Structures are given as structure tokens and as C-alpha cells.
């Protein structure tokens, strides 16, 4: 008999979590496992319940029903102070009348740690977040990005098992946000602290997370690595929310084939619906090949180029199949290809995409 593989228990587990505000259902029935040491993003549109879930985990807004385990301990009804987490908010939430050092050391003072130990820890944390020698300043004397680093240092001061980040980068300008993204990720990997970050920014989630939890209307639509979420979205909602996608109405014509208008396409996955059934196809713009298309390429068709928009490194075009019966299909054309080929509006080109680029959704609309 072979030994069964060891499966590490999750560090955080949420079971059957429900939360209503009056008659409004904010969390429907959430089950979630977060492995130890991972960086997890809750991603979804405004109002989908991300912050409500984070605050329930923290015990700041307790759930109506359900169980929360942190480090194997049932904390469902424990006060926030007994849940072993550090938290960073979008608004920094530093104490304006305390120095940076006092802000960072706040949790340690509360735990009555010796003064010398607090001083050393604060200095270490300030160095860790790249702000040594700033301890005697007040928060108002620092930039937004620096204040958020201080908030991070404060959240890490007591070495919590869990780090909760509620849109920590949203209030910062684009450049600072991108730099802090990388810094926070590096720090998290160094400390190996289990981290949950709420964001509505898909790019941020793709760039930072080990796992993304995509939420919509109080339910989890999909949990996966950034690559899984992007390449194999489980639902039309996820396909639509993460990255750009063209959706096409199609009819199943065989186990691996569909028809869009008068165009026949081959799909790599089983359509999951009987012949004759209406399905939706989803196709990423970067999967559409616009140059060097072989005459016998699969899923090749002639299309009229329209709606060219310059997006920096590439141009997005809208390709309308000449054969008709299909909505325009978005295609990204690299700036180099645009220059080499001199693609222009109104021209007709042969284009194609590989079968595995098509996702087939047997039901539902985004
Ligand atoms: P955002 O990105 O805008 O913060 P979110 O996904 O974090 O969105 P939540 O803050 O979790 O969304 O809110 C989920 C839903 O619950 C929203 O429709 C919100 O209006 C509602 N809600 C949140 N807090 C309360 C409250 N205290 N009272 C009433 N309704 C609330």
C-alpha cells in the first residue's frame, strides 16, 4: 500500500460563511481554504463582498453564520484581539499625533513588551520597509507611499500569523503603487506570512497573488493561480472581469466544433453541450494571429480590420469576419507588427486563432 500524500492543513479556513445587512445578502455561503504562507487576493467588482469577508475574518464585522479557523483554532466568535492578525487599510489609519516609531510600536506597547525590545523591533521594522531613521517624524510629514509602508510595519510588529490588507495601494498614485506592489510581495515572500489582500484591480491581483479568489455578488466564482484564472476562467463572469475578452454566440456542431454565423471553428475542449445547443465562446485578443497565417491554419477566416486603437506596446483592432454572422473579434497587434505590416482600417486580412484559445461556456452570460 502506498502512503497517501501529506496534505498541509490550511492556515485559514472559512466554512459556510453568511452575512446579511438588513435584507441584503452580502456573503451567501462562503467556503475557503488559504494555505500557510501564501499570498491570496480577494478580487471582484465594487460591492461584491470582498471587504465584508475580510472584516469577518478579522472579527471586525462578525458573520451571521459560519465558522472561521485561523491556525487550526476556531475563532468564529473570538474578538479581533484574539485572532492573531495584522491589518492595513486603504486610508493608512495611522495615529496622526504619534510619531512613526510610536505608531509602529503600538501593538507591542499594548502587549506590555519591554521598552528596549520595542525599540529594537521598531528599528528592525522601519529598516524592513525601507524607512530607517524616520521614527521621530509624524505621519503627516510623510508621503502617502511612506505612510502605507509605516502602516505595513505596524501591522507586522507583533509577528502575526495572518496579514490582512484592505485595498492598501488604492489611494496611491500609479508609480508608487507599482513600486509598493513589488516591495510588498518581496517582503511577504521573505517573511512567509499568510496574507490576504482585497483589491478590485485585476492587474494588481495577477501581479501579486499566489492564489486569486474571484468574487461576485457575495459568492466565490473561482479560486486559482493567476495563470489559471487568466487562461482557464471557470465562468463567463471571471472571463469578462479579468483581462479583455471577446464573447461570441455559437452553436455546437460536434464534440469539438462550433459554428459562429457561417464560420466553423474547432475547439480543443469538449463543448460540454449537445449538438445544436447554443453556447458562448470567449477569446483573448492576444490569441488572434494577424500575420503569417498559413492557408491551412485551423480557425482561419478573412476579416475586415476596424476600430484600431493605439495602446502603447500594441494596437487593439476589431476584426469583422467577411463571411458575416459574427460580432467583431478583438485582436491585439504588436506595435512592431503594425509598423512592419502597415495594417490599416478597412483592409481585409486572413486571421486565425488556435483551438485551445477558445473557452466554451455552455450556459450563462457574464
Ligand atoms: P468595494 O471594493 O467597493 O469596497 P466590496 O466588494 O469590498 O466593494 P463590501 O464592502 O464587502 O464590498 O460590501 C458588500 C455589499 O454589502 C455592498 O453592497 C455594500 O453596500 C453592503 N454593505 C457593506 N457594509 C454595509 C453596512 N455596514 N451596512 C449595509 N450594507 C453594507
Q: Whose CA is nearest to atom 19 of ligand 1?
A: 47
Ligand 1 centroid, distance to 48 Cα (angstroms) = 7
Tell me which residue of 154, 158, 163 sits closest to 194, measured CA to CA. 163
Cα→Cα distances 230→69, 139, 210, Å: 29, 39, 13
Ligand 1 centroid, distance to 348 Cα (angstroms) = 48
pLDDT tens digits for 150-161?
A: 999 999 998 999
pLDDT at residue 7 in the model? 58
- Does 307 lie in the same domain as 184? no
pLDDT at 340 over 80: no
Residue 131 lies in a domain: yes
* Alpha helix positions (H), 27-135: 50-58, 100-110, 115-128
- Our mutation pick for probing the ligand 1 site, out of 52, 54, 166, 170, counting the most ligand atoms within 8 A of Cβ, is 52
pLDDT tens digits for 217-227?
A: 999 999 999 99
Residue 293 lies in a domain: no
- Does 324 lie in the same domain as 201? no
pLDDT at residue 64 in the model? 97
- Does 184 lie in the same domain as 146? yes
pLDDT at residue 1 in the model? 40
Q: Whose CA is nearest to atom 31 of ligand 1?
A: 21
SS3 for 289-316, per residue?
A: ECCCCCCCCCCEEEEEEEEEEECCCEEE
Retrieve residue 148's grid coordinates.
Answer: 502605507
In this structure, what CATH number is given to the domain that contains residue 203?
Answer: 3.40.50.300
Name the band, by pLDDT with cuts 50, 70 and 90, for residue 236.
Answer: very high
- Does 157 lie in the same domain as 24? yes
Residue 101 lies in a domain: yes
Query: pLDDT higher for 140 or 313?
Result: 140
Residue 290 lies in a domain: no
pTM: 0.90
- Does 321 lie in the same domain as 208? no
Structural domain total, the chain: 2
Residue 103 lies in a domain: yes
- Does 305 lie in the same domain as 319? yes
Residue 171 lies in a domain: yes
- Does 255 lie in the same domain as 211? no
Query: What range does the domain containing 97 cover?
Result: 12-240
Residue 366 lies in a domain: no
DSSP state of 9: P
- Our mutation pick for probing the ligand 1 site, out of 49, 53, 56, 60, counting the most ligand atoms within 8 A of Cβ, is 49
Amino acid at each position: 500500500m502506498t502512503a497517501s500524500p501529506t496534505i498541509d492543513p490550511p492556515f485559514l479556513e472559512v466554512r459556510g460563511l453568511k452575512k446579511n445587512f438588513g435584507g441584503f445578502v452580502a456573503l451567501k455561503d462562503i467556503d475557503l481554504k488559504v494555505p500557510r504562507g501564501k499570498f491570496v487576493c480577494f478580487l471582484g467588482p465594487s460591492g461584491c463582498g470582498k471587504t465584508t469577508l475580510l472584516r469577518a475574518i478579522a472579527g471586525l464585522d462578525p458573520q451571521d453564520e459560519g465558522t472561521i479557523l485561523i491556525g487550526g483554532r476556531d475563532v468564529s466568535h473570538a474578538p479581533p484581539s484574539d485572532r492573531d492578525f495584522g491589518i492595513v487599510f486603504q486610508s493608512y489609519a495611522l495615529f496622526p499625533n504619534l510619531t512613526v516609531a510610536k505608531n509602529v510600536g503600538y501593538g507591542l506597547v499594548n502587549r506590555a513588551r519591554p521598552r528596549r525590545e520595542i525599540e529594537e523591533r521598531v528599528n528592525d521594522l522601519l529598516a524592513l520597509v525601507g524607512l530607517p531613521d524616520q521614527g521621530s517624524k509624524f505621519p503627516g510629514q510623510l508621503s502617502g507611499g511612506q505612510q502605507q509602508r509605516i502602516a505595513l510595519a505596524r501591522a507586522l510588529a507583533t509577528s502575526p500569523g495572518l496579514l490582512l490588507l484592505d485595498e492598501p495601494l488604492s489611494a496611491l498614485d500609479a508609480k508608487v503603487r507599482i513600486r509598493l506592489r513589488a516591495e510588498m510581495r518581496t517582503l511577504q515572500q521573505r517573511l512567509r506570512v499568510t496574507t490576504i489582500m482585497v483589491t478590485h484591480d485585476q492587474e494588481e491581483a495577477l501581479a501579486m497573488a499566489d492564489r486569486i479568489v474571484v468574487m461576485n455578488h457575495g459568492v466565490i466564482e473561482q479560486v486559482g493561480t493567476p495563470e489559471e484564472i487568466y487562461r482557464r476562467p471557470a465562468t463567463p463572469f471571471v472571463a469578462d472581469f479579468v483581462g479583455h475578452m471577446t464573447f461570441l454566440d455559437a452553436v455546437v456542431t460536434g464534440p469539438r466544433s462550433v459554428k459562429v454565423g457561417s464560420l466553423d471553428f474547432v475547439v480543443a475542449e469538449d463543448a460540454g453541450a449537445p449538438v445544436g445547443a447554443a453556447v458562448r465562446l470567449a477569446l483573448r485578443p492576444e490569441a488572434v494571429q494577424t500575420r503569417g497565417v498559413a492557408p491551412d491554419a485551423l480557425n482561419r477566416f478573412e476579416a475586415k480590420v476596424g476600430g484600431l486603437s493605439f495602446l502603447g506596446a500594441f494596437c487593439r483592432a476589431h476584426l469583422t469576419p467577411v463571411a458575416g454572422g459574427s460580432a467583431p473579434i478583438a485582436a491585439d497587434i504588436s506595435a512592431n507588427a503594425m509598423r512592419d505590416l502597415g495594417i490599416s482600417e478597412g483592409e481585409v486580412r486572413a486571421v486565425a486563432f488556435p483551438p485551445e484559445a477558445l473557452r466554451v461556456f455552455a450556459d450563462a452570460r457574464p
